[in-house]
Each structure stands twice: as C-alpha cells, then as structure tokens.
Amino acid sequence: MKAWFEIITTPTADTPGTVVGLHYPDKRYLFGQLAEGTQRACTERSHKLASIADIFVTGRTEWANTGGMIGVILTQADALKSSNDALEEENKKKAERKAAGMQAKNKNKPSDGTGDMRKQNVTVHGATNLMHTMATARRFVFRTGMPIYMKEYDSATIAKQISFDKEDPFETPTFIDTNIKVWALPLKPQPTDAQRMTRSQSPRKRSLDEFQETDQQLDETAQNQMLRQSIVSDMFDSDWKMDALIETPLAEVKMPAALFVRNAETKDIEPYKGPLPGDDNPLPDIKVLVRKPWPGATVTSLPPTTPSKEAVSYIIRSHDIRGKFETATAKSLGVPPGPDFARLARERPFRRQKARR
C-alpha cells in the first residue's frame, strides 16, 4: 500500500501554522494548525480537499489554530456539491439518451461508476471547545449533503479510557480506520508555584451533596455537547430547502421575515403587501406563506463554556504490513516449497520432519 506525507504549510507571514497532508489511495488526512490561509495554500498546492475524511487539529482551540477551519470545510462542501451536480446532470443526459433509444449503442460499454451520487462524512478532531467554535458560525454558514462530526479530546476523558490492567495501557488507539491508528495526547501547561502551593494543602472532605452536584454537572456537560453537535449537523446536513414555504397565521409570524400569499384566482405565489406584525395597524385574520430559516439560524444562543488551556498532539502509525517471504532462507532451513511456505507466511508453525536413516 502506497502512502506519503506532504508538507502543505509552514509558519510564514501568510500561513502562521503548519499543516501536513497524509495521502492513501482511498483517503486523505490533514494534521496541523488550520490557521487562516490554509484553504488557499491547499488550492495553490493542488491538494484536493474533497477527498479528505478526517482532519486532526493540533494545539489549543484558539483562533491561531482554527481560523481557517471553517473555510476548509466550506471548500470541501462546495467541491462535493459541484461534483454531485455534475453527476446529476450526467444522469439526466443518460436518461434522455435512454428515452430516445440511443442507449443501445453503448450497451456493451463498461460502466465507470460515475453515475453514483456521493455523500461524504468529515470528522474534525481537536481539543476542547472545537465543537463550540464551529457552532458559533451557525448564523452565516449553511451547506447540505456533507455530515460533519466533531471529536474532542481532553486529558480527563483520555485518562478514563486507559486500562492499566493490560501489558501496554496505550495499546488501544483513540482513532482507528483501515489505514492508520492515531493516539491523541492532550497536554496541560505546568502549574505555577502558587497553584502548587494551593494543591499541596490538604482539602476538606466533600459531602454527598457535592458528589451529586458533580454527577449533575457531567450530565449537563454531555447534554451541552449533544446540543452543539446537533447544531453543527444542521449546519451541513439538514433537509432545509430554499423554496420551502410554510403556511402560518399572520399574527404568529416572527419578524423580520419575507411573507407571501397565494393568489386566489391565478394560484400564483405573490409577496404579501398588507399590515405586518408589530405595526400599529390591525392585522387581518389570514394565513401567509413564510420561508422557514435554516435550522442553525433559529438557535439564539449556545451553552456556556470556558477557555481551555489544553493542547492536543497526535501519534500516527500505519497498520502492520506483511513483508516479502524469503524463499531462500526457508529452503536453507529445510522447509519444502509448496503449502508449507503458505503456512509460514500466515504465521503458522511448521515442524520439519526428521530424515530417515
């Protein structure tokens, strides 16, 4: 299996962060600081973002490391949409040719598989508050057809996942797929002298109520994360459509909004020009058509969060690949060619028969 790294950006005046691309035949990965200018650098180096399935953001969750994250994901979504639009147009032409009886001329032509629509998932890995950062763009970022998942790593969660009963506590990676294994390493800054003095003092015993409050805080944290992930999912993979209009009583419409009515005679949709909610004039008792805003725009506020000083690094390893079987060495050890070679290649034991005297 052929795989290689590509240095996409290094710290310069235009690209303050370092980004490394990992290429495999079926998938690509990004590792590094997605600072502002990352999307432009990928375009200049002909690094196709559409085939990237996992992005690993290093360092802390701050603008210096995530300023280009939204631009990279938007470029991915637009590239995927353009590809699917081209495939849809090609499928329409094929259907027209088939209807016209022209398909018979190409019935023996092998299919190239370009007629299938793609729906690619992208997972962004990083430190705490990564999901919150993405959700803050819900008012002005909206795409469809590309599910986005956010995976955050923190030292407390990673410590709970480590099993010291095993010979190697870090044997299980935090991320694994068919190509690579990744271990996330969340790191905290060293405490100051004042913090060390505070920690060295013997704390008082906590009451049962304080333990229960901690459990409630954990449940609330999990619920907040689920809400943030739901918002991010609606930003990139909702079923919202531009031409979808909902019939709503005029008095229940929340302004500002574009209002339409259906002409009783022509059945055409026309802009509503009467009194609006909030005006001094009385409202007629009618129903109007309102364009429903995209889901992210309806969320007024996000759950509260606090800045995190944890930074994330990654250890990356590829899966073990079987090497070349050395036939000469096997023959020198008395292994006869044939099925016994295959047994050794599958790491199964072989016992040489003793020669008869």
How do beta strands 122-126 and 148-152 pair?
parallel
How far is the C-alpha of 176 from the C-alpha of 211, rounded, in Å?
Answer: 35
- Number of Cβ atoms within 10 Å of the Cβ of 283: 15
In 47-109, which ranges are continuous DSSP H helix?
A: 63-66, 69-99
Whose structure tokens read 């930003």?
Answer: 235
- Which residues have a Cβ under 8 Å from the Cβ of 216 and sit 6 or more positions away? none
Please state, as a whole number, how many other Cβ atoms lie within 10 Å of the Cβ of residue 352.
Answer: 10
* Domains within the chain, CATH numbers bracketed: 4-102+114-240+296-318 (3.60.15), 245-291 (no CATH), 326-357 (no CATH)
Phi, psi of 185 (to 5 degrees): -125, 90
* Res 114: pLDDT: 45
pTM of the model: 0.74
User: What is d(CA 121, CA 123) in angstroms, rounded to the nearest whole number?
Assistant: 7
Tens digits of pLDDT across the chain (357 residues): 688 999 999 998 888 889 999 999 889 999 999 999 999 999 888 888 888 999 999 999 999 999 999 999 999 888 888 887 788 888 888 888 888 875 555 555 544 444 555 667 899 999 999 999 999 999 888 888 888 999 999 988 888 877 777 777 678 899 999 999 999 999 988 776 655 555 555 555 555 555 455 556 668 888 999 999 999 998 988 877 766 788 889 888 887 778 889 988 888 999 998 888 888 888 888 998 888 777 887 888 999 999 999 999 999 999 888 778 888 888 888 888 888 888 888 778 877 766 554
